[in-house]
């Protein structure tokens, strides 16, 4: 019986994945005909979690619409009517959003005689950068707690005395680390 011939199969070369913005938005270059706005993910992740004042969705979109007119370090100056038309709201509501952002200390409106206001967003930029920097400079996140109350990598459980609501003293062990803030009380009597 003759031996079957071996067939060599070459791996198919996949086209290099394109990471450009047109490909990510569907592949049709017409989508970029009017330009685009670069928005840091750090802003998108945390605009609703800011403290002491979070941004509403409308305020965040207002900021992004204003950024569509910012091409260099100078403050952009679109009019309220322009922003309102792009957002689908009234010019009065756009003005209200600007006032709210100004009240939160994230925007400075610069009055220009005979023209629309300019919008200084540097206070907002500073808060976004301040939130991003600690994560860039901190150590990696600690590993999760060990099994059955055992510490991780030599972290010893702390012995504590807790007091119940009725004033009785309860003895027990709290396991976890102070750096993660995660603790589990094991009450032993």
Mean of per-residue pLDDT scores for the chain: 79
| Predicted TM-score of the model (pTM) | 0.62
By C-alpha distance, which of 92, 93, 111, 91 is closest to 56?
93
Query: Any idea where the domains of the chain sit in the sequence?
Result: 21-137, 149-187
Architecture of domain 21-137 in this structure: Orthogonal Bundle (1.10)
Please give the helix or strand (H or E) that residue 175 lies within, else none.
strand 169-176
53 CB-near residues (< 8 Å, 6+ apart)? 104, 105, 106
More confident residue, 86 or 140: 86
The reported pLDDT for the residue numbered 8 is 77
Q: Do 188 and 171 form a contact (C-beta atoms < 8 A)? A: yes
Residue 174 scores a pLDDT above 60: no
């Amino acid at each position: 019986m003759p031996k079957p011939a071996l067939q060599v199969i070459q791996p198919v070369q996949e086209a290099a994945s394109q990471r450009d913005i047109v490909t990510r938005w569907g592949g049709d270059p017409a989508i970029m005909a009017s330009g685009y706005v670069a928005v840091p993910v750090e802003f998108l992740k945390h605009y609703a979690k800011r403290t002491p004042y979070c941004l509403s969705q409308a305020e965040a979109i207002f900021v992004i619409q204003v950024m569509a007119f910012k091409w260099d370090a100078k403050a952009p100056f679109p009019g309220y009517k322009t922003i309102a038309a792009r957002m689908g709201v009234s010019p009065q509501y756009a003005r209200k959003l600007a006032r709210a952002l100004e009240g939160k200390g994230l925007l400075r409106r610069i009055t220009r005689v005979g023209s629309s206001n300019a919008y200084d967003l540097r206070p907002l930029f500073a808060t976004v950068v301040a939130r991003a920097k600690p994560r860039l400079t901190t150590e990696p996140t600690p590993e999760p707690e060990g099994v059955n109350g055992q510490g991780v990598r030599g972290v010893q459980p702390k012995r504590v005395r807790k007091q119940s609501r009725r004033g009785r003293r309860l003895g027990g062990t709290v396991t976890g680390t102070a750096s993660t803030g995660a603790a589990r009380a094991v009450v032993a009597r």
